[in-house]
A and B are shown apart, each in its own frame.
Chain A
């Protein structure tokens, strides 16, 4: 069974801090994704990657960056956290786009 592990379940950070959200998958999937989940807005794509060292902007990339130095790890970086980035962050991976496997999510609160 594919596992997608997000390093933190809950995080509280201060405005202006640099924040790293880590995601690791164990099934050699090429594709990895970062989504943000907000009530009434569904899941919105922040960044995605189809291969190591490859990244593409999703629908809401502003204020975020990503890193994929190894196939199994996809990191989301908030360069300078702001209160409007308080949200649930979900990482997902897939072999093709069919059948995402999601991580458990990181609930980030920026104060």
Chain B
């Protein structure tokens, strides 16, 4: 079955700098790749997603890139702010099937 690896497990950046989180997946048939943000004590919430027919997607300060050949995708956050501090999860699925999640990255924004 699908396996998703996420790195790094923790990431600390200065406010205003950029943050990058990377994920690799094993099943070349996977075609949907969402990213979830979980703030302390709250539920995970979808922040951005990408489908396999697209190489990059942006939404204000966040972007996701997908390399199907290498089977990896990344989350990029620019101009980081304190409210970006959270745990971020990547995930992958084939069509309408269940999501397989990465291990999570704890992002800390230092003022």
Contacts and interface: CB of A to CB of B under 8 A. Distances in A.
Contacts of A42: 6, 89, 101-104
Interface residues of A, number: 22
A58 B36 CA distance: 20
Interface residues of B, number: 24
Interface in B88-107: 89, 93, 95-104
B98 to A, nearest CB: 5
Given A40-B103, A43-B89, A105 B97 contact: no
B69 to A, nearest CB: 23
Given A42-B6, A42-B89, A98-B32, A90 B101 contact: no
Contacts of A98: 32, 34, 49, 96
B23 to A, nearest CB: 11
Contacts of A35: 101
A97 B44 contact: no
B75 to A, nearest CB: 15
Interface in A38-56: 40-45, 48
A97 B98 contact: yes
Nearest to B6: A42
A99 B46 contact: yes
Given A33-B98, A40-B103, A102 B93 contact: no
Interface string A74-101: 0000000000000000100000111110
5 contacts: A40-B103, A45-B100, A97-B32, A97-B93, A105-B43
Given A33-B98, A45-B99, 18 more contacts: A40-B104, A42-B89, A43-B89, A59-B1, A90-B43, A96-B96, A97-B32, A97-B93, A97-B97, A97-B99, A98-B34, A98-B49, A99-B49, A100-B34, A100-B36, A100-B99, A102-B43, A102-B44
Interface of A: 31, 33, 35, 40-45, 48, 58-59, 90, 96-100, 102-105
